[in-house]
Amino acid sequence: MKKVIVILVLLCFGNSLYAQDSTKLNKPRLYTALGIQATVLFGGMAWLNYVWYDGREKLGFHFYTTDAKGYLQIDKLGHGFGAYQESLIAYQSLRWAGVSKKTALLIGAPMGLILQTPIEVFDAMYDGYGFSTNDMIANFSGSALFTVQEIFWNEQIIKPKFSFSPSPYRKFHPGKLGETPAQSFFLDYNAHTYWLSFPAQKVLFTQKVPKWLNFAVGYSANGMIGEFENATTYNGNPIPEFERYRQFLFSVDVDLTKIKSRYSSVRTLLDALNRIKIPAPTLEINRVDGLKLHGLYF
């Protein structure tokens, strides 16, 4: 998932200029869009090859098949989220360049899967990793979620979102969960929450609520100091015993793309921020605490 986030951040940064569709093919824009896609793809692969895997022993192609239960599936949701966003951004960039909807879907929709497949191939060649069919299923699902909605509804009604809140577990094992706050963003899966955000108007079958109001269902997990089981010591110091458990969340959200502005820069910013779930009152259900109400859940 750490590698997926890096690729996604690069793609989001490169495509931050895509604010709205164009109805006429604009070749300079098209070359810009394709150039950014190619730069992210080959630049990301070069980064993986020369930085991420630096110092690791290179092996023959091998599989990693036991990862389905790792981190209580948070990692798999991260793969799906990344693939969805990559497909969405690729499609938006082509539409911004004036490419027809059909062609933009053919090229852009599978981009999430295309960008993430080389990651799995690289993983398959190095010690400590392996080709994960479970990751590939998650990658495919993310791109498929975008594609199916665009084909059948001509819009993205169900929008995956992400939120991050530093967890209390990092201090017990910085080696696994990050020695710095920046590292913990990538390494501490306890701090990740993934959401599906739905328009309230469609859920309630009424036009009397604001277009920007959404409902969201989320999934997170807690108590994880290790992929499958928790570490018991760190640098010789004992780690308290934490119970690993899933969290199911229900909240309200805002679709920032429904907020009107005459400034393209503002619309672009709102579109970029719309990938993040806003903090809001949230109902949590988990098997340890039962029902919990959060005044604000980050």
What are the domain boundaries of the chain?
1-156, 157-298
Of all helices (H) and strands (E), which one includes residue 296?
strand 290-297
Check residue 71 and give left, alpha or beta (phi > 0: left; psi -120 to 50: alpha): left
To which residue do tokens 């990862």 refer? 67
- Are 176 and 187 spatial neighbours (Cβ–Cβ below 8 Å)? yes
Cα 116–122–124 angle (5° rounding)?
A: 110
Residue type, 219: Y
Q: How many CB atoms lie within 10 A of CB 240?
A: 9
Q: Write the DSSP symbol of residue 51.
A: I
Give the residue ranges of the chain where pLDDT is below 50. Answer: 13-14, 16-17
Task: Spell out the residues 6+ positions from residue 156 whose beta carbon is closer than 8 angstroms to its own.
Answer: 88, 146, 149, 150
pLDDT of residue 148: 97
pLDDT of residue 32: 85
- Which tokens is 40 given? 């992210």
pLDDT of residue 212: 96
Q: How many CB atoms lie within 10 A of CB 57?
A: 9
- Which tokens is 275 given? 């990938």
Indicate the SS3 state at residue 110.
Answer: coil
